[in-house]
Chain A
Amino acid sequence: MSTLAAVVGIGQTQYKTRRGDVSIAGLVREAAVNALQDAGLEWDDIEAVILGKAPDMFEGVIMPESYLTDALGCNGKPMLRVHTAGSVGGSTALVAASHVQSGSFKRVLTVTFEKQSESNAMWALSTPQPFSVHLNAGAGGYFAPIIREYMRRSGAPRDVGIKVAVKDRLHGARNPLAHLQLPNITMQEVEESMMLWDPLRFLEACPSSDGACAMVIAAEELVHESPKPPAWIRGVAMRSEPTMYAGRDEVNPQAGRDCAADVYRQAGITDPRRDLDCAEVYVPFSWYEPMWLENLGFAAQGEGWKLTMAGATSLDEGGDIPWNCSGGVLSSNPIGASGMIRFAEAARQVRGDAGAHQVPGAKLALGHAYGGGAQFFAMWVVGADKP
């Protein structure tokens, strides 16, 4: 029933600690112009803009879409602003896709960004609230106990997180846009880095980045107008559950399992490890790779860490299901854009356009984002072949 849509253009910025050379408008425009060039299009070819970012307090600008419309060529057009916590990059891609899949638009631009150097994310996440417990722990402190529970349940060896930290940074060294460039990183170096939130060490956590990511999504009838191969959108899904409820499994959230089942059904995937060629999955802290391997059905319960340790998710080790070939969130994390980068990098893989981190012959890829207390999920499956 929905209109067939595809990604026809992708644009990203260089990710780094501080992009002092551009304003916020300059940052989003850089990604948008790159996406338009990639799609062989002009501003006038775009019918609507869908903007996403994490909390406005990260830059100190309320509803920045009002200010960014000029930089994004949106004057006179519809502009929608999505905000769904850390999953927002993925959710924004899905809302943008719905503009086309609903038959309402033929071609839209979607942009997500974070310019974290403008403010202090730790402060923004820690404002005291009436009627609620004041958490000053940051995201790592929130997730560390959940990771320890995963380790207890699965009996995973203590160096699984270290392995993921090394693997994703070696992937990131293949990606010239990645924030962290650590081509010589070793297990020992990660192990010796400062312990932040036991069991997460400094090098097992994501960086804080400035950056933006943009995509052009077009209806089937306009896909041929862009020169490069399209990434056909084969499935879209989102799920939410409350931060806390009796019986909630925070290690293996049901919202993630349900979201994956939904997107796999749409894409005709029955065995994700076999059917997918690669995945870009939101792993901001190393241990989330084995946890999401299980949550997303790539491994049985308690077995995810075995895939990681066997090198199944490593491009360098020739794994059968490479995860986060771009370097992932562990290599670049402009929060509001991080989810969309996953979605866009999945699309780059099936377009055969991922450069030095290309998975040879990739035809079907998963893009994944999560946010809040691992309670908001957004996913899509993109393919080289038209469904």
Chain B
Amino acid sequence: MQQIAIVAFSQSDCLARAGAANEVELIMPQLQAVYAQVGIDNAQDVDFVCSGSCDYLQGAAFAFVAGVDALGAVPPIKESHVEMDAAWALYEAVLKIRMGHADSALLYGFAKSSSGELPIVLSQQLDPYYLAPLWVDTVSLAALQARLLLESGLASERDMAEVVARSRRNALDNPHARLSGSVSVDELLAEDLFVSPLRRADCAPVADGAAAMIICTVEKAREWGVPYALLSGIDHRIETHNLGMRDLTDSVSTRLAARAAGVEDGPVEVAELYAPFSHQEIILSRALELGDDTRVNPSGGVFAGNLMMASGLSRVGEVFRRIAAGEIRRGVAHATSGPCLQHNLVAVLESAS
């Protein structure tokens, strides 16, 4: 099967509000950045383009159509879109390269979710007959999950605060972070509860922005003459939507995806996990069976800023950056979708040398 190389990645600053910038203006700088990294001019120089976005975050049907305006699709291009995080656009593009219909692909994800009230908006992704009419917001659902985790004895509020403290500290080195700094676990635990047992600090700060990536065959990467990381495995799995039928303290779909992607086939130096709530990092780390020798979210993860529809792709990009820079040889990236970690994607990246 065709080996896939990741050759370029860029993400925007995580902005609390992008103001008057529209989606095309969010996307364009990231596209220009990845074009520059491999030395191409525009989307005409890749064989396939795939994006991830969500209509409801923009409040418009066909939100991605405007995105096509950022591509310069004249003459017409081969292009597709997933109504998911762009990590799944990456997945679709991998299939396209494996089947031999493309040697290279551009991926991007974007959202400007500040226009609406995200936790309430996302309540409308629940079962429309039994759950959506209750308008249960995403923070409340995550709080239920955190409560179950605490009561199971698998984690404590201190463990959750440690995730936040470490993430914010790591984010000090992340130039795109919306939130970073040194804060002690005790200081965090002294904060008021927001939606019990979650404090505001346990919820990753949502941000407007975009991320872009270029992948290709190894031959194409050599032709471009740029450092690359091999995408040695990628898999994703979904679980039941019915929260009452899932063990919310575990992530079975992450375990399945990790096995299929080959996480256990080598050391995991770095893991970038898409955990929008602190307790979810604990659940994911256990599901991925990460040891003490794995650095989790050295970028600060989404606690540096949660770019809706792009954070999953950014996790892959963060691992790629470290491999391309020669900093590490092997790492794991994770993306999630749906309430309480319902749907999870796991990618394994390795050094080519």
Contact = CB atoms under 8 A, between A and B. Distances in A.
A129 interface: yes
B74 A81 contact: no
B334 interface: no
A2 B101 contact: yes
A360 interface: no
A125 interface: yes
B84 interface: yes
Contacts of A75: 238-240
B190 interface: no
B342 interface: yes
Nearest to A121: B61
B169 interface: no
A326 interface: no
Contact of A1 (B49, B91, B99): B99
A132 B240 CA distance: 39
A238 B78 contact: yes
A69 B241 contact: yes
A6 B335 CA distance: 31
A95 interface: yes
Interface in B26-78: 49, 54-56, 59-62, 64-66, 68-69, 71, 73-78
Interface stretch (A36-44, A143-151, A241-249, A351-359): A241-249
A258 interface: yes
B92 A66 contact: no
Interface string A51-92: 000111111111111111110001111111111110000010
Interface stretch (B124-132, B221-229, B293-301, B314-322): B124-132
Nearest to A241: B76
A101 B99 contact: yes
A131 B124 contact: no
Contacts of B54: 56, 62-63
A65 B236 CA distance: 14
Given A66-B342, A75-B240, A78-B238, A242 B82 contact: no
A2 B101 CA distance: 8
B231 to A, nearest CB: 13
Given A70-B242, A82-B82, A60 B128 contact: yes
Contact of B83 (A1, A56, A104, A241): A56
B125 A57 contact: no
B157 interface: no
Given A81-B84, A84-B81, A101-B99, A69 B240 contact: yes
Contacts of A3: 99
A77 B95 contact: no
A84 to B, nearest CB: 5
Contacts of B328: none
Contacts of B78: 237-240
A contact residues, range: 35 or more
A160 interface: no
Given A67-B127, A91-B80, A98 B96 contact: yes
A5 B91 CA distance: 19
A84 B132 CA distance: 25
B256 A76 contact: yes
Given A63-B125, A79-B238, A254 B95 contact: no
B102 to A, nearest CB: 10
A199 interface: no
Contact of A102 (B84, B99, B338): B99
B337 interface: yes
A118 B71 CA distance: 34
Nearest to A88: B81
A24 B242 CA distance: 16
B343 interface: yes
A360 to B, nearest CB: 34
Contacts of A24: 128
A83 B62 CA distance: 8
A67 B125 contact: yes
B235 interface: yes
Contacts of B77: 239-241
A55 B343 contact: no
Given A242-B73, A255-B76, A63 B65 contact: no
Give the top 9 A-B pairs by smallest Cβ distance, nearest first: A1-B100, A55-B61, A102-B98, A255-B76, A62-B125, A240-B79, A2-B99, A83-B83, A66-B338
19 contacts: A1-B99, A63-B84, A66-B125, A75-B240, A80-B84, A81-B84, A81-B88, A82-B82, A82-B92, A98-B99, A102-B96, A103-B98, A236-B101, A241-B74, A243-B68, A248-B74, A372-B62, A375-B68, A376-B79
Interface of A: 1-3, 23-24, 54-70, 74-85, 91, 94-95, 98-99, 101-104, 118, 124-125, 127, 129-132, 236-243, 245, 248, 253-255, 258-259, 372, 375-376
Interface of B: 1, 22, 49, 54-56, 59-62, 64-66, 68-69, 71, 73-84, 88, 91-92, 94-96, 98-101, 121-122, 124-129, 132, 235-242, 252-253, 256, 337-339, 342-343
